[in-house]
Chains A and B, each alone.
Chain A
Amino acid sequence: MKKRTKHQRKQDRELFLLCLPTTIKTLIFAYIPMVGIYMAFVDYKPSRGVFGSEFVGLDNFRYLFQSIDAQRIFSNTIFYNVLFIILGTIVSVTLALLLFEINNKVALKVVQTSFFLPYFISWILVSVILQSLLDSTGLLTNFIYSITGTKISFYTTPGYWRLIIVLVYLWKSAGVSAIIFYATLISCDKSIYEAAEIDGASRWQKMLYISIPYLKRMIIITGIMSGANILRSDLGLFFYATQDIANLYPTTDVIDTYIWRILRKSGEFKVGTAVGLVQGVVGLGLTLLANKIIKKVEPSAALF
């Protein structure tokens, strides 16, 4: 490494000062809690503190993986994330391709703004909306009743929630990701399309052979990055939208809601920390793996 000049040292000092507040905030709120991970390996007693409690090795993990909850929360979390990645990508890419075909400016604006709307809504309002559709006098419940003559009780039947959760997920996020994909498409070189038109390519051929390959890089990156978060879920979707109804846990309980419940109700902090650690380690491992894969497939898109 070259020796830094006097000018460079001054510049480094100034730039480092600009970085200081964010660095301190991150060290306090993100790095100090990492020390607390030690709690996953002790029999935590609040009165004795994290480091005064007895070291028990992997007991907390054993307890966790032997509990009936473990299988449920891990399988639900993975199940939904896999579905979200597949369906989310298909729906938002399709919508983006269709948006790209619209030339009418007014229509485009209206559609874009509508796609954004769900993104601005807090999860609490989402739960109110769902209730108005699904409870005993809900719009949807009544509609189904008027057609089939049966009244479905959504809030006591876990089976329906697999579909409901996926639909709510798509409602909240597919519109925005469609706009992101669409914005990428716009940046594609127009002359390629013109050349294809001259060669007599149909609209569908252009989609298939120009647009989709153009989006490939982004699809791969977003897909792999969400894959790295396979053990994490949006608490808003699984806690608020389902209203935390215990009857529905077989299909709605995920790792994050489990930790959330420990924090707010049962107080088995050591087990909660242990689950959190599993999430963290898997997340770290998968991100590193994802980066390796991206480097092979699409080197320019690698994260680091």
Chain B
Amino acid sequence: MTKIKLKKFVGNTPIYIPLLIFTLFCVVPFVVVISGSFSDNASVVSNGVRLVPQVFSLTAYKVIFAFFSKITRAYGVAIFVTVIGTVLNLVIMVPFAFAISKREFTFGSKLTFLIYFTVMFSGGLIPTYILIKRYLGLYDTVWVLILPLLASPAYIVLLRVFFQSVPKALYESAAIDGASEFQQLIHVGIPLALPGIAAIAFFSMLMYWNDPYTAIIYIEDSELFPIQILLTQMTQYINYIKSNASASGGLISSPADIPTTTILFALGIVASGPMIFVFSFFQKYFIKGLTAGSIKE
């Protein structure tokens, strides 16, 4: 009996070893960040980060806490953009995807093409920039972080797949009862496509939360920086302090109260933590959403 088990185990090693290696490849950087954020700065600077903190310290988090008002402000902007953006996104994309999923809709294929064409061809970054800055008046407002990212074609295509899987007979019987298209969407379409909508909601939250470009291009007012941009700015500032400290041959030491290296890790945790937390709620839907694209239409 044990011999068979052992044989099976040995036979499985070609399966487990590559998977183990890639799993570690995915996870180790996270361990490094977490360990780094709880390490003493001096030990990290001289010996580098270890997988387990060499000298445990909470200084990095304490320093971040000193910038509390700045960080809560940036969190506030990011949460506003993520929540309002995702709600708006669903409010406009869900009805669209529902409508184009209906075969009877005369303009369905034309509207689908209108959306899909923007994936293949676009005016590019610079004409978009000029439009937003000179003509739409969105420059340096919180709305520029939300509006341009709405109604992404990839999400619409995924949502359409979910609506296509709703049995047609259900819509028909609702229509016989006198339900308008809007009522069919609310009472039949949305409840049945809910797992798909949840997956898209998660994608959308992730997109808004992690968006590193929009604010850099269109926002000057530091009060409107979302958390990712605050992280970028602090990273650049800290790298600047570090490089100046070493260029001067140690004459200008980095300010002792700023743990230049470990604070970056702590900021990374602060900026990414919420999405990992949200993911734990959405994981089930998320996997469904990812696989929806591969379902044959």
Residues of A within 8 Å of B, CB-based: how many?
95
Contact status A120-B279, CB under 8 Å: yes
Q: Does A176 contact B (CB under 8 A)?
A: yes
Q: Does B259 contact A (CB under 8 A)?
A: no
List B contacts of A180 (CB < 8 A): 290-291, 293-294
Contact status B148-A111, CB under 8 Å: no
Q: Does A212 contact B (CB under 8 A)?
A: no
Q: Does A131 contact B (CB under 8 A)?
A: yes
The smallest C-beta distance from B51 to any residue of chain A, in angstroms, reads 9
Q: Does A16 contact B (CB under 8 A)?
A: yes
Q: Does A132 contact B (CB under 8 A)?
A: yes
List B contacts of A34 (CB < 8 A): 121-123, 127
List A contacts of B123 (CB < 8 A): 30, 32-37, 276, 280
Q: Which of B25, B115, B231 has the most CB of A within 10 A?
A: B25
Q: Does A269 contact B (CB under 8 A)?
A: yes
- Given known pairs A128-B264, A180-B291, A269-B126, the reply for A29 and B217 (CB within 8 Å) is no
When C-beta atoms are compared, the residue in chain A nearest to B51 turns out to be A139
- Given known pairs A19-B96, A263-B217, A300-B296, the reply for A115 and B22 (CB within 8 Å) is yes
* Contact residues of A between 275 and 297, Cβ < 8 Å to B: 275-277, 279-281, 283-284, 287-288
A156 CA to B96 CA in the complex, in Å?
49
A75 CA to B25 CA in the complex, in Å?
29
Q: Report, nearest first, the 7 A-B pairs whose CB atoms are least far apart.
A: A276-B124, A36-B127, A33-B123, A18-B95, A183-B291, A14-B181, A122-B210
Cross-chain pairs A/B with CB under 8 angstroms, 29 sampled: A12-B107, A16-B107, A19-B96, A25-B92, A25-B147, A25-B151, A26-B115, A28-B136, A29-B148, A34-B122, A91-B22, A95-B19, A102-B19, A114-B23, A114-B27, A122-B209, A122-B228, A128-B231, A128-B264, A129-B268, A142-B47, A176-B290, A228-B120, A240-B212, A259-B124, A264-B217, A277-B124, A284-B121, A304-B116
Binding site for A on B (CB under 8 A): 12, 15, 18-19, 22-23, 25-27, 29-30, 32-33, 36, 44-50, 91-93, 95-96, 98-100, 102, 104-108, 111, 113-116, 118-131, 136, 147-148, 150-151, 156, 180-182, 185, 206, 209-210, 212-213, 216-217, 228, 231-232, 235, 261, 264-265, 267-268, 271-272, 275-276, 279, 283, 286-287, 290-291, 293-296
A50-B130, A259-B124 known; 9 new pairs, CB 8 Å cut-off, are: A11-B181, A15-B181, A21-B91, A25-B151, A26-B118, A99-B19, A101-B12, A174-B22, A180-B294
